Amino acid sequence: MDDVITTLGLTKRYAKLAAVQDLHLRVGAGEIYAFLGLNGAGKTTTIRLLLGMIRPTAGQASIFGAPVRPDAVDLWSRVGYLVERPSAYPELTVRENLEVARRLRRVADPHAVDRVLQRLALAPYAENRAGTLSTGNAQRLGLAKAIFHEPRLLILDEPANGLDPAGVVEVRELLRELVRDRGVTVFMSSHILGEVARLATRIGIIHEGKLIEEVDAGELERRCRRWLVVDARDRRAARAALETAGFAV
């Protein structure tokens, strides 16, 4: 499996604060890699480093084998992204925002906007100004801008943020479809274990800027089984009684 994302010792410091520390990552083609951590763990900083939005203090990052640089035009034409809150021109309509993005991305097909409006269930809001959208629909617009030029890599910061349960399911199925049918690689961040467990093929757990563990989906499912903690005065006897009753102790 070819590596789409590689980082070696990637580090970002702000004065004495280490937002990301000595990060070593390898994300293969066709993976859905989830970066799981609490708010403030370093997820968004890592994504900004991967996109060349900020410079690392140390280490390096590569995408498709090329060093990450803000001016790497050919590289960014193959990448779609959504970072923190989705941005849009508030006085322009949803359709106009996507048309601007189409021209900036140099997508020649004029029907690309209509297709992505349908795909993200934004067609009913196409003529609404972006500034009037709900949080969930603003998130859909951000996702639409990320995918409509058919990138080979999607880097998404909390993609389910603000969506209702039905919208979360739609986005989950959309990402699975992109991976399954088009070979897209997805790198996404989340602080919600349940959502990651349903979607990701591999999970990296980050805490205080450090990657503390990586697990595949099967291992995560095994670890997420329900457990009951039982204590007793005579623990040996309690263990024997539970095992006799057929419980794994």
Per-residue pLDDT reduced to its tens digit, 50-60: 999 999 999 99
pLDDT band at 84 (very low <50, low <70, confident <90, very high): confident
Q: Flag whether pLDDT at 74 surpasses 90.
A: no
pLDDT tens per residue, range 126-172: 999 999 999 889 999 999 999 989 999 999 998 888 888 888 888 88
Q: Flag whether pLDDT at 199 surpasses 80.
A: yes
pLDDT band at 1 (very low <50, low <70, confident <90, very high): low
The larger pLDDT score, comparing residue 217 to residue 82, is at: 82
Q: Whole-angstrom Cα distance, residue 206 to residue 215?
A: 12
* Annotated domain spans of the chain: 1-78+161-249, 84-150
Q: Whole-angstrom Cα distance, residue 4 to residue 104?
A: 24
Q: Whole-angstrom Cα distance, residue 227 to residue 208?
A: 27
| CATH number belonging to domain 1-78+161-249 | 3.40.50.300
Contact 80, 153 (CB under 8 A): yes
Q: Flag whether pLDDT at 195 surpasses 70.
A: yes
Q: What are the residues whose beta carbons fall under 8 Å from the beta carbon of 188, sequence distance 6 or more? A: 32, 33, 34, 35, 154, 155, 156, 157, 158, 159, 175, 199, 200
Q: What Rg value do the Cα atoms of the chain yield, rounded?
A: 21
Q: What pLDDT is stored for residue 233 in this prediction? A: 95
Q: Whole-angstrom Cα distance, residue 11 to residue 59?
A: 6
Q: Flag whether pLDDT at 224 surpasses 80.
A: no
